[in-house]
């Protein structure tokens, strides 16, 4: 059995299960219910065409590099690595992070005070949000947006304020790149109010594959400085930027760096998403509070995983893995682009990460095909195309947040 295909009852069916009580879930539990990922999962599991090729949820179907796997196996033989790690992270991993990332920021990252190792970037982001964002605060997100931020902000009672990344003309007919989508700084400035606490930037961007330019990030950072905002920079795909320079927000200048928290995922870097390890880098004044929220949310991250990543990072710096992986992802993206070229569907090609936005305006669905209410309630074609493809062709994608676009993940 595919371990991902765990079938849970839908919320609407829970009341018919045995064990009746009056125990009601919290607001937070309800917020987390019914996102696009669980919808896709349910449709995939129920599809008559099996197995479904899942190009929707970023599931990598190959192993992490051998040198990291070997380091993991060795770690398991060490008594120390089978017990709790220190709360803020294994010293060897924090040292490796400091060694590798300090030169980017032109300051020495103190392993104990400027870094917090977390259970994946997801927990790094939640720990950061919980450390600084209060109920009623507003947080600016750039749209289309990685849905996780929206849910995490709801969990703390904050309000997401959306600023659009504008699609270029020709989106319906031409192939474009993620970088053709632009942020209008006037829209961004207008979105800042007295309640704004933070901005979440994702670079390289999920789902557009946009790699923000130095000028764009500098402008975003300067607005954060002038309004005293926290900048949470989700850079989980930082080693997967191709054909274009990648700028780390915290590397621009000291005023931007002082308010920037950078989230990085070692799961993404090593194609080991199941290992659940990532980290936040920032100045000690900020990281201190994240170390506290992280201690409550997770206590510590997995010890052998951290030990393996510590060695893996140092080896990857020497053995060319980053470049090899970048080339590999680029080739995978190109394979899907070739297919889309062949069938004549325009797409947005990523310049970083592994997402492809595909324009589905040209697709004609059979008029008699019956869609369930969970699909028709959205009133847009992307949900229908996703549902149809899973059920009739056995390929899963994600509805884009624009009506005529679906997202494929090529990882």
User: What residues make contact with ligand PLP under the rule CB under 6 A?
Assistant: 58, 120-122, 146, 202, 206, 234, 236, 265, 267-268, 273, 278
CB 297 within 8 A of CB 308: no
CB 237 within 8 A of CB 353: yes
Give dist(CA 383, CA 286) in Å, integer: 40
Pick the closer one to ligand PLP by CB: 121 or 241: 121
Rounded (to 5) percent helix, strand, coil in the chain: 45, 15, 40
Residues 6+ apart with CB under 8 A from 221: 231, 249, 252, 253, 255, 256, 260
- Residue 100 C-beta: closest distance to ligand PLP, Å: 17
Pick the closer one to ligand PLP by CB: 227 or 330: 330
H-helix or E-strand spanning residue 216: helix 214-226
- Residue 355 C-beta: closest distance to ligand PLP, Å: 8
Pick the closer one to ligand PLP by CB: 236 or 360: 236
Q: Which two tokens stand for residue 7?
A: 């079938």
Pick the closer one to ligand PLP by CB: 268 or 294: 268
- Residue 52 C-beta: closest distance to ligand PLP, Å: 19
Closest CB to ligand PLP belongs to which residue? 120
Q: Cα(first)–Cα(last) distance of the chain, in Å? A: 22
- Residue 122 C-beta: closest distance to ligand PLP, Å: 3
CB 109 within 8 A of CB 264: no
- Residue 113 C-beta: closest distance to ligand PLP, Å: 22
- Residue 66 C-beta: closest distance to ligand PLP, Å: 21
CB 279 within 8 A of CB 117: yes
Pick the closer one to ligand PLP by CB: 205 or 381: 205
Give dist(CA 113, CA 97) in Å, integer: 12
Pick the closer one to ligand PLP by CB: 242 or 388: 242
């Amino acid at each position: 059995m595919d371990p991902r295909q765990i079938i849970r009852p839908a919320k609407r069916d829970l009341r018919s299960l045995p064990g009746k009580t009056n125990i009601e879930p919290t607001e937070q539990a309800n917020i987390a219910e019914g996102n696009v990922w669980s919808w896709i999962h349910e449709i995939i599991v129920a599809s008559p065409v099996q197995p479904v090729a899942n190009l929707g949820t970023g599931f990598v179907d190959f192993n992490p590099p051998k040198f990291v796997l070997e380091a993991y196996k060795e770690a398991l033989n060490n008594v120390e690595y089978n017990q709790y790690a220190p709360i803020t992270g294994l010293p060897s991993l924090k040292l490796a992070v400091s060694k590798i990332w300090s030169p980017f920021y032109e300051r020495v990252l103190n392993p104990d005070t400027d870094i917090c190792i977390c259970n994946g970037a997801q927990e790094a982001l939640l720990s950061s949000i919980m450390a600084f964002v209060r109920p009623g605060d507003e947080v600016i997100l750039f749209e289309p947006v990685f849905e996780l931020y929206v849910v995490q902000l709801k969990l703390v009672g904050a309000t997401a304020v959306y600023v659009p990344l504008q699609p270029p003309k020709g989106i319906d007919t031409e192939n474009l790149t993620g970088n053709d989508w632009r942020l209008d700084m006037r829209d961004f400035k207008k979105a800042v109010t007295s309640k704004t606490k933070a901005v979440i930037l994702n670079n390289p961007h999920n789902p557009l594959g946009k790699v923000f330019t130095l000028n764009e990030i500098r402008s975003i950072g300067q607005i954060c400085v002038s309004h005293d905002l926290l900048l949470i920079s989700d850079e989980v795909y930082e080693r997967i930027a191709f054909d274009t320079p990648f700028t780390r927000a915290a590397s621009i200048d000291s005023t931007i760096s002082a308010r920037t928290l950078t989230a990085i995922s070692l799961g993404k870097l090593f194609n080991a998403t199941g290992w659940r390890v990532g980290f936040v880098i920032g100045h000690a004044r900020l990281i201190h509070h994240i170390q506290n929220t992280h201690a409550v949310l997770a206590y510590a991250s997995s010890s052998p995983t951290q030990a393996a990543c510590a060695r893996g990072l140092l080896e990857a710096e020497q053995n060319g893995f980053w470049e090899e992986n970048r080339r590999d992802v680029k080739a995978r993206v190109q394979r899907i682009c070739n297919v889309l070229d062949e069938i004549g569907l325009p797409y947005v090609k990523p310049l970083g990460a592994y997402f492809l936005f595909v324009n589905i305006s040209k697709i004609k669905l059979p008029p008699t095909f019956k869609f369930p209410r969970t699909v028709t309630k959205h009133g847009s074609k992307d949900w229908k195309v996703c549902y149809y493809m899973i059920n009739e062709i056995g390929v899963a994608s994600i509805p884009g947040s624009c009506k005529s676009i679906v997202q494929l993940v090529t990882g």
